[in-house]
Amino acid sequence: MVEQANRIDEATTDVPGIGDTFPELTVETSMGERSLPDDYEGKWLVLFSHPGDFTPVCTSEFVAFEQRREEFEELNTELLGLSIDRVHSHIKWTEWIAENLDVDIQFPIIADDQGTIAQQLGMLHPGAGTATVRTVFLVGPEGAVRLRLTYPMEIGRNIDEVLRSLRALQKSDDDGVAAPADWPNNEKFGDQVLLSPPGTESDVEDRKAAAADDDNLNYYDWWFVTRDQ
């Protein structure tokens, strides 16, 4: 374990942030080798780490992700897990899940037994040892990091929030809008979206004129305009 920790400490700590290109990695998974992000070009990728195989919270998360996998696929999105375990452990664990919980995990899991990938992606925190915290990367079709979420080891992820974030990002990309808090179920605005504030004085006047002529726009002020779906 000490030798493994030393290898992890020597790894790069240049963690990719939002907007950065996801680093090129060749990884071993429970379903064969993958090249990141190239193998997912043109698709969205949900890459999520878990502290370890054969642990209760992680098992519940994998079941939850698999039960929602088709929803992700309908959004042109693939799932990919990761932990500092060997590929044989991943395979045995998913067999246990199938046999005991009647759920067949149909997405791959990265076997990062050296811990170098987890370190490079910032999935290891001080005091956590060699167990990865619960990090989620949403990587866009062009290979850029679009969102990153981190949960403590004690708390399982909310799959609804991952899906909500994915849908909101896709809506923003498709329509050039922003999503308010709790979209699409905002208590005040429902599923309305937000227009970006104007950048010039002439754009302000254009916004006012557009709001007067478009019943789908809800004008509160020139910088705060919502639009019906």
| Known catalytic residue at 58 | yes
Opening angle at CA 164, ends 24 and 132, nearest 5? 45
| For the chain, domain boundaries | 2-157, 176-229
Give the pLDDT score at 121. 94
Give the pLDDT score at 14. 78
pLDDT, tens digit only, all 229 positions of the chain:
334 444 444 444 578 999 999 999 999 999 999 999 999 999 999 999 999 999 999 999 999 999 999 999 999 999 999 999 999 999 999 999 999 999 999 999 999 999 999 999 998 876 656 678 899 999 999 999 999 999 988 999 999 999 999 999 999 999 999 999 999 999 999 999 999 999 999 999 999 999 899 999 999 999 999 999 8
Cα–Cα distances in angstroms (integers) from residue 11 to residues 123, 125, 126, 131, 135, in the given order: 12, 14, 14, 15, 18
- Out of 27, 45, 58, 123, pick the active-site residue: 58
CATH topology of domain 2-157: Glutaredoxin (3.40.30)
All residues at 6 or more sequence positions from 69 whose CB lies less than 8 Å from its CB, including other chains: 79, 106, 107
Q: Are 30 and 124 in contact (CB under 8 A)?
A: no
Give the pLDDT score at 13. 52
| Residue 133 structure tokens | 């915290």
The DSSP string of 138-165 is EE-TTSBEEEEEEE-TTS---HHHHHHH
| Residue 213 structure tokens | 């002529």
CATH code of 176-229, in short, is 3.30.1020.10
Beta pairing class for 217-221 and 224-227: antiparallel
